[in-house]
Amino acid sequence: MARKQSDYLAALLAEDGPGPKDSGLIRLNPHAGSEERPDRVQERVRGTTLLGRESALARVASGEVRQVTQLLLDPTRVKVWEGNARSYRHLTEESCRELIDSILAEGGQKVPAVVRRIEGDPDHDYEVIAGTRRHWSIRWLRANHYPDMQFLAQVAQLDDEAAFRLADLENRARADVSDLERARNYRVALASHYGNHQTRMAERLKLSKGWLSKMLKIATLPDTVVDAFASPAELALRPAYALAQLLDDPDGQPAILATAERLAAEQRARRADRQPPLPASEVLHRLQDAPRRLAGIGATEPLCELSHHGRPIVSVRSANRQGVTLRLHAGSGADLDDMLSAVRQALEALEAQGRGLKR
């Protein structure tokens, strides 16, 4: 019997039975009034041990006691379950730095992940249900001077719904799992595990129905809007829910989507130039104000395209059947390419609202 298994059974035997514990191998025989022979005592102890071991195994088989299997795995043979909300591609050395340092300080991973065995995949033997960051960190360490690092995992038998609940429970305590990621995960799970019954899902996850309803709402945000932000993590529940409600308006939706596309292009340009991204507050304001600005109703200023410095490049002074009048602003900090791009974006925005030159 393996050392770990024998230790586990020994622990079970220590708990087995309500009677008093013996302090030694030699007992006093009350009938003989003298010590028993040691060989007879050893024989009786062996018999008792075998009976206790059978009792322990019976308790495991009945489910009264559950064996927990932990393995040291090659992380390349383990993949992340697709039902987990955490975005594996968004994990970085920076976001996992604290965990990486902890693993190094402790000489390896100490807290096991939860995995389940998979069949029919020639490249993988297990999939991670809970412990995505641990899996990523071990893989990173193996690729960066620690090739012998192993992935510690606890093997569990779970159906998809139970796996989803376990993964969600872990992700709730993680700040690096955005509300949007969780919301999209909930939307898939609602159809996959709960037959599109929100009440049943809320009960199983022990969530309020109102909160779950809002999360499912922000899951409808299109990628066009999400890409306008520097990171999905910037889309918290409250502002994301407000945007999702605005997109329900068929009159305002085209304006928001057109503005989101321009913001996404601006964010890409900033990343390429190694400039700081547009702050979430500015992105949110421009998206929420887009329907009013592009329709010209109640706007505080004309339709205006801004430079990387936040100053206006071009603004629409008028747009009617006679044509479109644009104003190019001095001191915007934009070069010629930026100005031409801003003019194009302004004209495209007008076209999206039916106020362009093609009428």
Report pLDDT digits (tens) over 294-330.
555 434 345 666 666 667 778 877 777 778 888 888 8
Task: Please say if the pLDDT value at position 161 is more than 70.
Answer: yes
Which pLDDT value is given to residue 214?
92
Q: If you classify domain 70-158 with CATH, what class do you get?
A: alpha beta
Which pLDDT value is given to residue 299?
41
pTM for the complete prediction? 0.57
Which pLDDT value is given to residue 23?
35
Which structure tokens are listed for 34?
Answer: 């003298």
Count Cα neighbours of 28 within 13 Å in the Cβ-side half-sphere: 3
Which pLDDT value is given to residue 141?
93
pLDDT > 70 in the chain, percent = 72
Task: Please say if the pLDDT value at position 3 is more than 60.
Answer: no
Q: Rounded distance, CA 204 to CA 298, Å?
A: 46
Which pLDDT value is given to residue 293?
64
* Residue 51 pLDDT level (bands cut at 50, 70, 90): low
Nearest alpha carbon to residue 110 among 131, 90, 124, 129: 131
Task: Please say if the pLDDT value at position 217 is more than 90.
Answer: yes
Q: Which has more confidence, 63 or 97?
A: 97
Torsion of CA 228, 271, 235, 218, to 10 degrees: 40
pLDDT tens for 185-194 read: 899 899 888 9
3-state secondary structure the chain: CCHHHHHHHHHHHHHCCCCCCCCCCCCECCCCCCECCHHHHHHHHHHHHHHHHHHHHHHHHHCCCCCCEEEEECHHHEEECCCCCCCHHHCCCCCCHHHHHHHHHCCCCCCCEEEEECCCCCCCCEEEEECHHHHHHHHHHHHCCCCCCCEEEEECCCCHHHHHHHHHHHHHCCCCCCHHHHHHHHHHHHHHHCCCCHHHHHHHHCCCHHHHHHHHHHCCCCHHHHCCCCCHHHCCHHHHHHHHHHCCCCCCHHHHHHHHHHHHHHHHHHHHCCCCCCCHHHHHHHHHHHHHHHHCCCCCCCCEEECCCCCEEEEEEEEECCEEEEEECCCCCCCHHHHHHHHHHHHHHHHHCCCCCCC
| CATH 3.90.1530.10 domain locations along the chain | 70-158
- For residue 306, give Cα distances in angstroms to 67, 252, 311, 342: 62, 21, 5, 8
Task: Please say if the pLDDT value at position 167 is more than 70.
Answer: yes
